[in-house]
Structures are given as C-alpha cells and as structure tokens.
Amino acid sequence: MSMLDQRAKSLLKILIERYIAEGQPVGSRTLSKYSGLELSPATIRNVMADLEEMGFIASPHASAGRIPTPRGYRLFVDTMITVQPKTQSDELVQEVGASLSTDAPQRMISSAAQVLSNLTQFAGVVMIPRRTQSFKHIEFLRLSDRKVLLIVIAPDGDVQNRIIQADRDYSPAELTEAANFFNANYAGLSFDEVRARLAGELDQLRSDMSCLMQAAVQAGSQAMSGEDENVVISGECKLLQVEDLSSSMDKLKRMFQVFEQKTGLLQLLDVSSRAQGVQIFIGGESQLVPVEDMAVITSPYKVEGRIVGTLGVIGPTRMAYERVIPIVGITAKLLTQALSQH
C-alpha cells in the first residue's frame, strides 16, 4: 500500500469496482468518467502501467482495458471495502434471524448454509462442530437376522445411529443385557476409553457377547467422530451460473473437485476457525483455494464463547465483497447466539 499514492489508490479502487459490476476489462476512458479526477488520458494510462508493473492489475489478450489480479483483489478487500449502512445491516439481521428460528442444532447449521447461499446466490458452507467423543446412553435394536441398530445419545442430546452386522442373531433380551452393561459401566466415557477398558472386563458377560460389544465400540466411535459428515454445503450448483467459474471445462472440473474432495475445503475452514472475525481467501493467492477465479469468505462461530466451527461463502473473485462480507459476519453472529441459547 505504501508504494501507491492517493491517485493510484483511487484509480485502482474504481477499476476493481467497475470490473466487479460489469465483468469487462476497464479502460482509461471509463476510469476518467468515474474517478472525478481531472486527469488526462495519458496520465491515467501511465498510472495503469505502474499498477500493472506492481502486479495489481493485468491486461487480457486483445484488450486495451485492465482487470484485477489476486494481489489487486487482496489490496482491495483489505483496505478499500465500504461497509454496508446500518439500516441495511438491521434488515439483514432480521432476514438471517428468521431463517435460524429452529430448536434443532443440526437444522440451524443446515439453515445457515442455505441462507448464506440464498442471500449471495453463491455456495454456502458450514463446518459442523466437532462432536463430543463421550456418550450418555446407548441402545441396541434388533432389525433382522444378524443386523442390529446401535443408537448413541451424546451428553448434549445429539442422537447418532449406526447399523452393526453382527456375528450371529441376538435376541432382544441379549441386546438389552448388552446395552445395560454399557450404560452402567461406561456412560460418560469416550468410545476410545471404553475400548481400552472393555478388553479386561468382558468376562463379566458371556463370552459369546464379545463380538457384539467390540462391534458396538467401533460403530459408536465412528458415529461420534462424525467422519461421514464434516461440512454442510448448500447451493454449489448456483456457481454454474457464474461465468467466471464455468467458462471452461477445466475450471468446472477444478471447482467441483473442491466440493467432491472435501479435505482442502475442511483445511481452509479449520484454518479460518483459528482467527477472529471475517477472513477472505483469494484464489491464485492462497494455496487453500485451488481455483484462481474463486474466493472464499469465512467467519468462525461459537457456542458459549468457544469456537466450534466455521461458516462461509464460496463464490467468484469478482463478487460484491461489501455486500457478502456483512452477510457472512452477521450469519456467524446469529448462529452463535442461536446455538448458545439452545
């Protein structure tokens, strides 16, 4: 920022705003029209040449205009964003708050992803809070020959189900006996702690129950770790309507790899959960965003003062940041309030 004088800053800001609004390379005539500065076309061209040399803008092929680079977007979002007026923020609070008016935490999280997508017309994502590894109560329910439903109730009331393929057919009385043993001896422990203790205590049950108990520990551990559902995504198909992200098959492939292979997305959300407030990741600048024309805006959310997850919006780098940033920040704040009250 210190490399730029006020004239260069103003022209860069206008260039990025016009490009976000119109999606076309911005030329010196457009900058002269919108800047309000009494500068000659030659002066504006010289400033643009300097900005290009410093890496803030680039010149597409066969065009006299310029477009922002990832470095230009970074400077813009860090120093040039104009925040929405308070009246618009109040309306946004009411709209988001109405979408989160539910008693079930899981539904709140799904609603948050959906409202982020609906308000921005991009993809909304919410990283699910890491579940507690302990359990309050379990039950076994016979489904059919050698199939048993394991029901695990967490201390916070969250319920998880897993189907166990048993080694033999168990009667309802045997399943009740096994559940009673679990609840009497291990309630409040994690399944890893149960696994460690179970090996030396199975002699309290008949030996033919050992396979069921071990299978229950394995299934319960997977259920409480949430291995199969780490993040809720809503509206990813809306990105197909964004020309910047769908203009080539290569871009489409890389974009949907972000959603299909969730490891990178989870890593990004996990990184942003370690910071306070809204974070902006620009594609081409951050290795965590593999598509150059993609940007991710995130914010952590809390329960009783402790950060438990992250939510955000995935869209093009050419987005109205001054509108999307408050949507992400307010949604994180209201989800925090809703979950903490619950």
What pLDDT, on the 0 to 100 scale, is given for residue 324?
94
Question: Which of the four pLDDT bands, split at 50, 70 and 90, describes residue 28?
Answer: confident
What is the pLDDT of the chain when averaged over all its residues?
84
Q: Is the dihedral of CA 245, 248, 252, 254 positive or negative?
A: negative
Q: Which of 67-71, 76-80, 92-96, 203-207 has the lowest mean pLDDT?
A: 203-207
Give 190's strand partners: 134
Q: For residue 321, what pLDDT is reported?
A: 95
Inform me whether the pLDDT recorded for 94 exceeds 80: yes
d(CA 284, CA 251): 13
pLDDT tens, 282-324?
Answer: 987 777 787 889 999 999 998 888 888 899 999 999 999 999 9
CA 211, CA 316: separation in Å to the nearest integer?
A: 52
Q: How many residues are there in the chain?
A: 342
> Quick check: 158 pLDDT over 80?
no
Q: What does pTM read for this prediction?
A: 0.73
**CA–CA distance, 98 with 338 (Å, rounded to integer):** 11
CB 322 within 8 A of CB 313: no
* Residue 204 reports pLDDT greater than 70: no
Q: How far apart are CA 114 and CA 124, in angstroms?
A: 6
Question: Over pLDDT 90: what percentage of the chain?
Answer: 31
Q: Would you say residue 228 has pLDDT above 50? A: no
Cα separation, 106 vs 112, whole angstroms: 10
pLDDT top residue among 210 and 28: 28
Query: pLDDT tens-digit profile of 114-129?
Result: 999 999 999 999 988 7
What digits encode the pLDDT tens for the residues 36-80? 878 888 899 899 999 999 999 999 876 678 999 999 999 999 999
Q: What share of the chain is helix, strand, coil (3-state, %, to 5)?
A: 50, 20, 30
Give the pair of three-digit tokens for residue 267: 């890593």
Beta bridge partner(s), residue 26: 66
Beta strands in the chain (DSSP E): 57-58, 67-68, 123-127, 137-144, 147-153, 159-165, 231-234, 279-282, 294-303, 306-316
Q: Is the pLDDT of residue 162 over 90?
A: no
The number of helices, as runs of H, and strands, as runs of E, in the chain is: 13, 10
Among residues of the chain, what percentage have pLDDT more than 70? 88
Rounded to the nearest 10 degrees, what angle do helices 191-198 and 172-186 cross at?
A: 100
Question: Which residue is listed with tokens 């940033």?
Answer: 325
Kind and range of the H or E run holding 209? none
- How far are the Cα atoms of 24, 231, 288 from residue 113, in angstroms, in the given order? 31, 10, 20
As a whole number of Å, the CA-based R_g of the chain is 27
Q: So what's the pLDDT on residue 229?
A: 59
Neighbours of 100 (CB within 10 A): 18
- Over residues 2-14, the pLDDT tens digits come to 678 888 999 999 9
| 86/295: higher pLDDT | 295
Residue type, 319: M
Give the distance from CA 104 to its chain's centroid: 19
The confidence score (pLDDT) of residue 54 equals 93
